[in-house]
Structure 1
């Protein structure tokens, strides 16, 4: 917004999966769907392994998967993010405690003892290399006006273990040009989700996660396709004070299919919030939200794209924590605040069943 088919590493290639593995995946996905529908409490291991396993089973594989909290594939056993300490500028990658598990927060605590640390990069778990580096780093050429988020602003519990969030304040944002590494472009269909917080928000532009401009300019209507979460009422006429799940499609934060306020919108003020967005690229998009600790997704909009946004003109960068025209000399300022726990961008238009299963998996992860 203006300021103003990949397999998980180590998985059997598609078309060569053993019948029992396929049956097991289908069964786990069914458990997750039923858990959402009936509000069951189930262990994380029974909720479909990880969100990206569920998306893959639904035919919409993750092309980017990020979290400072946990693995988003049941088989993932590598690094989640990197911290840099102030005392000597040394860095350390923080991984998971076990395959498919939660972050090794103890490793961060030990490395950052007696000094302060920042999070420099959140690694992509999809195998595509779509790592999110902070804008202002040498890895994001031409970026400025941004700095890495403090690594210890918020600790939490997920999967029974301690973890840290990516706690973004004004001036913090992350970015990756993913147009050549699987992120959908043009009018290609796309979906995404993130787990964020309803208690750390503001009205600054723009706390986004999703598809953005490779140019880092507000190029055109439809040049972005990102989840926005905050209290900014872009077109006016909003009901209540938010925070809301909206779609940043560039040149506007859309609560529904037009610039008029969508009466189906509602605020999500819980500590942990699930937000989803999907867009078929030519005619339809859907926005959903939920408490990430319990319950099913609420559909806020499922209908036509706004006038002037068909077809979409996505460029395939990934942004987290800012609008699309941040953060370069002469570009927009980064004024947003928000918290990021996990999220993914997927290729294709996810089914409602798939999104329901992802929500059940998030609930089963036990964010506290």
Structure 2
């Protein structure tokens, strides 16, 4: 038994962001929205305060070792997250993000999502140490979404319902994406089920093409339920997307006639309008019938195969002006989000040791043929247990078995839980690209890009010959690996 809990009206893109005047210290995005007459109805971030006066908790982590929890706040009112407090609390063990606090007075906190129509199994919380970045010159942590991670609040206050207008934004990464449903942040059904067209109004970011043709990508789209809309009635090749390291994704919907999609480089410049026009002509979208739940990392029906990164985001009451959104973009740019990947070394050769079993990732019988399966085995000091890392993009790596000269591969590019891993000749596809994700204490997750699933020691087995496969992230030591030469 496994030990597991179980996107026509195309418009030419127009850059509308004009550098706003410098803002006084202590002004946050929600202060800007309020000044524009569209106050925040919900505000979530694990990296900083979104009001200039906010001095409360940003998120809560739970420790694996004893189940204890700790709230992570800001260094000072209106400031950045106190990452040192997380590091201290999680020292010697590992932590999961279990709650993301709403910084508004509505208390629309996000907690780990329950099951839904597309996936009845409840989701997992994100590895708290997986996404270290800097903001304002301070070390902070974002929310790293792998397949199976997701957050939700079905009992909100102040969030738009029915045809009421609203706006929203989030800051995400342009390089941590896939084409699975659905990396969303925004308004969704309260029942965890697909209840029909127009019942959602959420930002989606990824490479999924719901209405062909699509252009570029990854792109900001509107998840309005039963479709990821790049603009108009779905297909909009003017929405060519953005793959900068950090992306500001913006959506607004007046609930009756109009919606708009924008994106920007969250590190510099202004916003590009990818679409601004009529709501979809298909039945159910004019007017909208929003239900007012809030989701992060999943679809409205708990479709949870997507990957993505989340640093901050808000939902507003009312339809924000372009001027307000330009000011918010300037505020985001001033945060100076940045990251750097220094491990593993490009071209470096390593052994991967599973934390649960203490055994090493191994090519069975030192096989060299395409299709050779993998297991864990006691260290033998041979090249069948050595892996050469080659950079394939922003925190994407191929792992080549030194003995076989073949690549760590998700068999048949599978998406199913339990998909096997094997050795195969290099194909240059995302089924052979892996993110190396820190978990703390020198251990890492290895996440395959095509499905967002994690390299896993089957059933947490400790015997020589235990197979490895792919599974959703489960916050356990069977999916943690040390990487050492």
TM-score category by the smaller chain? 0.7 to 0.9
Q: Which of 165, 169, 172 in structure 1 is aligned with 2:142?
A: 165
Q: More displaced, 193-202 or 263-272?
A: 263-272
State the match for 1:17 in structure 2: none
1:323-353: CA deviation from partner (whole Å, max 9, x where unpaired)? 0011xxxxxx410100000000000000000
- Pair 1:237-2:217 in alignment: no
| 1:183 matches 2:159 | yes
Structure with more helix by fraction: 1
Q: TM-score of the superposition, structure 1-length normalised?
A: 0.84
Contact 2:80 2:140 (8 Å CA) reproduced:
yes
Residues 72 and 86, structure 2, Cα contact 8 Å, conserved in 1 = yes
**2:24 counterpart (46, 55, 61):** 46
Q: Please, which of 79, 103, 109 is the counterpart of residue 131 of structure 1?
A: 109
Of 309, 332, 347 in structure 1, the residue corresponding to residue 317 of structure 2 is 347
How far, CA to CA, are the matches of 1:235 and 1:198 in structure 2? Answer: 21
Q: TM-score, normalised by structure 2?
A: 0.64
Distance across 1 between alignment mates of 2:301 and 2:231: 22
| Per-residue CA distance 1:198-235 (angstroms, 9 max, x = gap) | 01111110000000000111111100000000000012
2:280 equivalent to 1:310 = no
2:274 is matched with 300
* CA apart distance, 1:102: 0.2
Q: CA deviation at 1:239?
A: 2.0
Aligned partner of 1:29 in structure 2 is none
- Look up the match of 1:27: none
Output the CA distance in 2 between the equivalents of 1:39 and 1:281: 28
Structure 1, unpaired ranges of 5+: 5-35, 327-332
Aligned to 2:239: 265
Cα deviation, 1:275-321, whole Å, max 9, x if unaligned, reads: 11000000000000010000100000000000121000000000000
**How many Å apart are 1:144 and its aligned residue?**
3.3
Q: Is the 8 A contact 2:60 2:97 kept in 1?
A: yes
Per the TM alignment, residue 46 of structure 1 is displaced from its structure 2 partner at its CA by: 2.9
Give the Å deviation of 1:143.
7.1
CA 1:60–1:38 in 2, change beyond 3 Å: closer, same or farther? closer
Name the SS for the 1:110 alignment partner: helix
Q: In structure 2, do the counterparts of structure 1 residues 116 and 155 end up closer, same or farther at CA, with 3 Å as the change threshold?
A: same
Which residue in 1 is equivalent to 2:90? 112
2:225 corresponding residue in structure 1: 250
Aligned-pair CA distance for 1:48: 6.9
Out of 293, 296, 307, the position equivalent to 1:337 is 307
CA distance in 2, matches of 1:295, 1:48: 21
Larger RCO, structures 1/2 (Cα 8 Å, 6+ apart)? 1
Higher deviation after alignment, 217-226 or 230-239: 230-239
- Correspondence list, 1:211-230, <5 A: 211-230=187-206
Separation in 2 of the partners of 1:299 and 1:279?
A: 14
Contact kept in structure 1, 2:19 and 2:330, CA below 8 Å: no
Question: RMSD between aligned alpha carbons?
Answer: 1.9
What is the rounded CA distance, in whole Å, between the counterparts of 1:226 and 1:60 in structure 2? Answer: 17
Q: Structure 1 residues 244 and 47 mapped into 2: Cα distance closer, same or farther (>3 Å)?
A: farther
Counterparts in 2 of 1:39 and 1:65: CA distance versus 1, 3 Å: closer
**Structure 2 portions without partners, runs of 5+:** 1-6, 8-16, 339-485
Q: 1:47 to 1:275 in 2, by over 3 A?
A: farther
1: distance between equivalents of 2:38 and 2:56? 23
Q: Give the Å deviation of 1:136.
A: 4.0
| Structure index of larger Rg | 2
- What residue is the counterpart of 1:86 in the other structure? 64
Aligned equivalents of 1:74, 1:113: Cα separation in 2: 31
Cα deviations across residues 144-172 of structure 1 (Å, max 9, x unaligned)?
33110000111111112110000111100
Match of 1:206 in 2: 182
Distance 1:209 1:175 in 2: 10
Q: In structure 2, how many angstroms separate the alpha carbons of the residues matched to 1:246 and 1:80?
A: 27
More strand by share: 2
